[in-house]
Amino acid sequence: MTRGARRGFPVHGTTPAAALAVALAAASCTSQRPATVDFSETPREYRAKDYGAAYERWTRHDVIRWDYVDAALEVWATFKSWDFREAYVEHYAGIYVLSEADKATLRAAQLETSRNTYEFHITAQSARYSWNDLEKRNSPWRVSLIDGLGHELTPDSLRLEKLPNAYEIEFFPAKTPFSRSYLVRFSKAPPPGPSPAPGQAAGQAASGENEFFGTRSGSLTLRIASPLGRTDLVWQGS
């Protein structure tokens, strides 16, 4: 989303061809909806080669543009759901030739983390390096998680990741020579009361207006916003 488009400002000096390209890109973005995902803990039988498809299924991409030209921030966010983690365990175990015991330990640790947190791996780059600073306390960017009823969480932790280059290219291939990687965690509260009925408004939630239902609400939105623009990255349950 561009700064000019977001605020309704005209962008001077934009050629007709450039304006048409922007319009076509916007039309493409609005017409292509992400595939639905399965938030459940249904057992899967993944193989190591299935990781690429799982990564694509759980990764969302967007560009926040500044004056239609510069990328204020380009992001790829991977929701590390249980479905994603199962594929990750198989791929990791295959690459590092884990024993069955070590693989079981890894799976148990991944399952525990998925039950306690909503965790996202973010790969980000910007036309101006100084704008890519999600982890700083004085960053202009605000990251939040919103459920399908509009309830919002702020991160319990948001840190810059220093991962081995070969590992990151293999497991999070959106990485570029100009990107930075972040790990964002939102703690899961104890399960609230009954799940909201389909179509039930946020203010009508059975156990209170402020409870975060998370995946039980049917969708999650990772919002990254600043004066430079905003993106809403959505995972819609099936």
Task: Take residue 66 and report the two structure tokens written for it.
Answer: 């500044």
Which one, of 180, 173, 140, 189, lies nearest residue 159 by Cα?
A: 180
Task: Take residue 152 and report the two structure tokens written for it.
Answer: 């919002």
β-pairing, 219-226 vs 180-187, is unpaired
Task: Take residue 126 and report the two structure tokens written for it.
Answer: 């910007």
CA angle 142, 145, 148 (to 5 degrees): 140
Look at residue 189 in the predicted model and tell me its pLDDT: 72
Could you give the percent of the chain with pLDDT greater than 90?
71
Does residue 165 carry a pLDDT above 50? yes
Average pLDDT taken over every residue of the chain: 83
pTM of the entire predicted model: 0.79
Does residue 26 carry a pLDDT above 70? no
| CA distance linking residue 140 with residue 224, whole number of Å | 10
Tell me the residue type at 156.
D
Look at residue 170 in the predicted model and tell me its pLDDT: 97
Look at residue 68 in the predicted model and tell me its pLDDT: 65
CB within 8 A of 139, min separation 6: which ones?
133, 226
Does residue 198 carry a pLDDT above 70? no
Q: Where are the alpha helices (DSSP H) in the chain?
A: 3-7, 16-31, 51-57, 82-96, 100-116, 165-171
What are the sequence ranges of the domains in the chain?
Answer: 3-11+36-190+208-236
- Name the pLDDT band for 3 (thresholds 50, 70, 90): very low
* Least reliable range by pLDDT among 56-60, 148-152, 185-189: 185-189
| CA distance linking residue 105 with residue 101, whole number of Å | 6
Tell me the residue type at 111.
L
- Name the pLDDT band for 33 (thresholds 50, 70, 90): low
11, 4 contact by CB (below 8 A): yes
> Helix (H, G, I), strand (E, B), or coil: what is residue 202?
helix
Look at residue 35 in the predicted model and tell me its pLDDT: 80
106, 86 contact by CB (below 8 A): no
Mean pLDDT of 200-216: 62
